[in-house]
Structure 1
Amino acid sequence: MAANNSPLPAGVTKEQAFGMAETEMEYRVELFNRLSQTCFSKCVDKRHVSSGLHLYFYGSRYKESELNMGENSCIDRCVSKYWLVNGLVGQMLSAGGQRPM
């Protein structure tokens, strides 16, 4: 905390802090959207069925309204791996930026 009791680091204006917060929020939303799309397309069974109840979602037919056990398990593993890799990449980028040139 700065000496003037401001919650902002020294030398950072409110506008800069808002800009950084906005950039961080955009990054997190994009990360969540990529994670959702990746794991959904990898794990959710979208096979078309010829009879019975069809559920339509963005133009695709789904067999069931709920995720089955296999889909849930796949999504759990996919999300876990996605966060793990994202964390590792973040660590590598942080460490790479600290290396002397």
Structure 2
Amino acid sequence: MSFLGLGGQNPNGPSNPQKLLAAEAELDMVTDMFNRLVESCHEKCIKADYSSGDLNANEGLCLDRCVAKYFDVNTKVGEVIHAEAWKQRILHGPTLNVKYVHRIKVHEIVRLTMVYLPPWHFN
């Protein structure tokens, strides 16, 4: 069975250290995204006094919307980055200048964030 695309044929571990590094980097990115999601939505939706052990209806609805919007924006940003990477690859060949793509994408990410996130997200 394959875990994170590492393959499971070799009992001594993955045959390619680059695959292991890529899987670790992907896991770090997913963990970071999850932690940011929890922090952001918790801060916006759940009152600090914790008067009840359960979520009330408003908190639950707020969390549902916050998580949905967070993933929607994350998907849109990923699509823009992917499209820009392909555009750069077509223009410059298979050796992609990651710094160039990153520099352009920071501006685009800010623009997308401002467009797709509600104003209360920035308070």
In the superposition, the TM-score normalised over structure 2's length comes to 0.59
Residue aligned with 1:62, SS? coil
Give the AA of the match of 2:41: C
Give the AA of the match of 1:70: N
Q: 2:85 — aligned with what? A: 97
- Structure 1 residue 65, shift from structure 2 partner: 0.7
- Structure 1 residue 34, shift from structure 2 partner: 0.2
Higher strand share: 1
Q: 1:15 aligns with which of 5, 14, 17?
A: 17
**Structure 2 residue ranges without an equivalent (≥5):** 1-6, 8-14, 93-123
Which segments of structure 1 move beyond 4 Å, counting only runs of 4 or more? none
- Cα deviations by residue, 1:44-90 (Å, 9 ceiling, x for unpaired): 012xxxxxxxxxxxxxx421111100000000000000000000000
Q: 2:28 — aligned with what? A: 26
- Cα deviations by residue, 1:9-44 (Å, 9 ceiling, x for unpaired): xxxx51100000000000000000000000000000
Structure of higher CA gyration radius: 1
Distance 1:91 1:75 in 2: 24
For residues 53-68 of structure 1, the aligned pairs below 5 Å read 61-68=49-56
- Structure 1 residue 98, shift from structure 2 partner: 1.3
Q: 2:58 — aligned with what? A: 70
Give the AA of the match of 2:74: N
**Structure 1 residue ranges without an equivalent (≥5):** 1-6, 8-12, 47-60
- The alignment of Structure 1 onto Structure 2 pairs a total of residues equal to 76
Q: 1:79 — aligned with what? A: 67
